[in-house]
Structure 1
Amino acid sequence: MNPTIKDVAQKANVSIATVSRVLNNLGGYSDKTRQKVNQSIKELGYQPNAIARGLINKRTQTIGVLFPDVSSSFSSALLQGIDEFAHDRNYSVVVCNTDKKGSRTLKYLQLLREKQVDGIIFSSEVLKKEYYEVLESMGIPVVLVSSKTDFAKVPYVKVDDYQAVYDAISYLIAKGHRNIAMISGTEGDPNAGTPRIAGYRKALEDHGISFDNGNIVYGDFSFSSGCTAMEELLLRTTGATAVFAASDEMAIGALSVAAKHGLNVPEDFSIMGYDDLQLAQMVNPPLTTVRQPLHDIGMIASGKLITMIETEEDVSSMTVPHSIVERQTVRSLPSR
């Protein structure tokens, strides 16, 4: 039979209330008492029940995180930051895979309700009205990552996708490229799709380059979709000298297809990505990309959520700076 809080109190020769205060860091006891209680917990192998503790402090010290694809390197980098900050503040993290189309989102929101999580981080997904209504009924805070919403009191942490892609295309133009293709994310995606295409188009326009719709193909941010999109671009024979991909995984897919067709990167074709995943440094040649500091974004989002949980006060949204990381997949074209 598992030891109870009553067993710990008896062994430490203190009251159950004192054990509870030690477990919840509430103070009101001596350091000697704290050591006695902790020693008794260790010797008995007592495991506090999060739900029972929540009845005392009205919290379970648990947050939920929803990703459309938990297997992606993008999600992994974010999760490391989220979990690192949460762990340092004695919170646990429950991770849910909602599917790229969000088909499981409502199911997981119900699960997180049953788990009595203290707050939720939404990553890379639109906060639909039906989701928001569930969160409102749960009465817990939510923070968006790589997404934003018009709902009041829902903060976000993200880079400026429009400006980041504008800067990436301007970088390629400065390298002498004027016929630049783009492998976009999901068509119509308001988070990382539409704003990035808008940045692409505006950069071309501001540099006097006409937009060609035939230079855009769509993927879903995955490696396999990058392969498919690159194959389609090569079939179109648009004469593009460079391709910008809206994720590193799609850019690496494009690299793979280029190699399959005997194209040398960057001698025959330049490729640029977006994210600066660890994979970007590992491929050959190493990928030139737009860096969004995913680990830092995860930590910031986790920090904002826990602040909202513990203070019950609103926090502000944050746009995190991006940068261009030059490696070896983009070459300068000779001046014409």
Structure 2
Amino acid sequence: MKATIRDVARLAGVSISTVSRVMNAPETVVASKRDRVLEAIQQLQYQPNAFARGLIYKKSFTLGLLIPDIENLYFAGIIRGMQDACIKLGYSLMICNTDRDKERLLSYMDTFREKQVDGIVFASDKLHPEYYEKLVGCRIPFVLLSSHSDEYEIPSIEVDDEVAAYDAVKFLIELGHREIGMIGFGHSDSMSGPPRYDGFVRAVTESGLGHNVIRVKYANHRFEDAYQAAHELFTDHPGLTAVFCVADEFAMGTISYLKDRNVLVPGQVSVIGFDNLRMASMFIPKLTTIAQPIYQLGYRAAEKLHELLSTGSVEVLREKMQHKLIVRESSREK
């Protein structure tokens, strides 16, 4: 017979309410009682009924995640981190892929409301006023991931894109490169595109290389778009010796374009990416890149949303995580 919460309470020698608090707010229970309850849960293999919990606490114990491109490996890492945090915190996770389609995104918000999710993580897109008004109207707390809002006081978690891009380009300059191009995000809804461009501009300008500011082409988030952007960039500026790409997938597209034209990387052109996707160390040549703590971003987003749901506020409104330069084979001294 399946164990009940009464069985757990009886075995642990505590009240039913104490068992409930251990499952939903363990920090409110003294360690000795908490340990007895956890041991009883494990011994009895007790699994609480989520529907019953929802009725009692008026919560679904479900979080929603809105992502723009589920095929992008960046979001695979985000999902993994958020899923692991949800398991730890006692939530289920519902994922919706928007394909950067406004109507689809708004429709998913309605779906989340109908499913009575407790909160939403809104990832990597710009928070347009209509999105904000919809979420506020649905009365669903939310957190921004790899995004932020200057207009609204919304909790967010991301890296400092401007500083990270600056560090990437500064690294190329320190290698001796003076003719540097960039392939950036061209989508109008991109949150990271403008600050990464700003970081590129600051690095080349500070180093007296302002002539590179115009050496920029844009792509729409895909390998094949970056391949075409690389073609346009090197057609206009054939003397480039280095390229900063705002995504690892863009760096791979750029290297593939150069390989097809028998241009050696890094022998003739150095390429640096951004993200440190799992594929970055498998690609040939292995990518030099700016590493985002992708898994930790997803994990922290779930924790931040849980904090908001539990207390009504967050300790750090706009949180920044650290990036790191990873030097591999796709870059070398000029």
Give TM class, smaller chain.
0.7 to 0.9
Matched position secondary structure for 1:104: helix
| Distance across 1 between alignment mates of 2:285 and 2:105 | 38
| Distance across 2 between alignment mates of 1:133 and 1:200 | 34
| Distance across 1 between alignment mates of 2:158 and 2:37 | 45
**Aligned in 2, Cα 1:41/1:185: closer, same or farther, shift over 3 Å?**
same
Taking the TM superposition and a 5 Å limit, the aligned residue runs for 1:61-210 are 61-189=61-189, 191-210=191-210
| Distance across 1 between alignment mates of 2:40 and 2:171 | 63
TM-score normalised by structure 2 residue count: 0.85
Q: Tell whether the 8 Å contact from 1:214 to 1:238 is kept in structure 2 after alignment.
A: no
Deviation at 1:34, TM superposition (A): 9.7
Deviation at 1:255, TM superposition (A): 1.3
**Aligned in 2, Cα 1:188/1:33: closer, same or farther, shift over 3 Å?**
closer
| Distance across 2 between alignment mates of 1:189 and 1:35 | 49
Matched residues, percent identical?
34
Deviation at 1:315, TM superposition (A): 3.5
Q: Tell whether the 8 Å contact from 1:22 to 1:37 is kept in structure 2 after alignment.
A: no
| Distance across 1 between alignment mates of 2:229 and 2:62 | 40
Deviation at 1:150, TM superposition (A): 2.7
Q: Tell whether the 8 Å contact from 1:102 to 1:125 is kept in structure 2 after alignment.
A: no
Corresponding residue pairs, total: 321
**Aligned in 2, Cα 1:246/1:20: closer, same or farther, shift over 3 Å?**
same
Q: Tell whether the 8 Å contact from 2:204 to 2:213 is kept in structure 1 after alignment.
A: no
Q: Tell whether the 8 Å contact from 1:68 to 1:102 is kept in structure 2 after alignment.
A: no
Partner of 1:269: 269
| Distance across 2 between alignment mates of 1:213 and 1:259 | 25
Matched position secondary structure for 1:194: helix
Aligned partner of 1:113: which letter? R
Deviation at 1:53, TM superposition (A): 2.8
Matched position secondary structure for 2:210: coil
310-319 vs 82-91, which moves further = 310-319
| Distance across 1 between alignment mates of 2:288 and 2:34 | 57
| Distance across 2 between alignment mates of 1:101 and 1:169 | 32
Partner of 1:303: 303
Partner of 1:327: 328
Q: Tell whether the 8 Å contact from 1:119 to 1:309 is kept in structure 2 after alignment.
A: yes
Deviation at 1:40, TM superposition (A): 8.9
| Distance across 2 between alignment mates of 1:123 and 1:198 | 21
Aligned partner of 1:199: which letter? G
Deviation at 1:238, TM superposition (A): 3.5
| Distance across 2 between alignment mates of 1:86 and 1:37 | 19
Partner of 1:234: 234
| Distance across 1 between alignment mates of 2:144 and 2:193 | 17
Partner of 1:221: 221
**Aligned in 2, Cα 1:37/1:327: closer, same or farther, shift over 3 Å?**
closer
Q: Tell whether the 8 Å contact from 2:304 to 2:314 is kept in structure 1 after alignment.
A: no
| Distance across 1 between alignment mates of 2:182 and 2:131 | 32
Deviation at 1:195, TM superposition (A): 1.0
**Aligned in 2, Cα 1:166/1:189: closer, same or farther, shift over 3 Å?**
farther
Show CA shifts across 1:171-208 (max 9, x none): 10110111101000125445111111111111111000
Is there any run of 5+ residues in structure 2 with no aligned partner, and where?
24-28
CA RMSD in angstroms, aligned pairs only: 3.0
Deviation at 1:140, TM superposition (A): 2.6
| Distance across 2 between alignment mates of 1:131 and 1:218 | 26
Is there any run of 5+ residues in structure 1 with no aligned partner, and where?
none
| Distance across 1 between alignment mates of 2:308 and 2:41 | 31
Show CA shifts across 1:285-324 (max 9, x none): 1000011111111111111101111222333221111111
98-107 vs 163-172, which moves further = 98-107
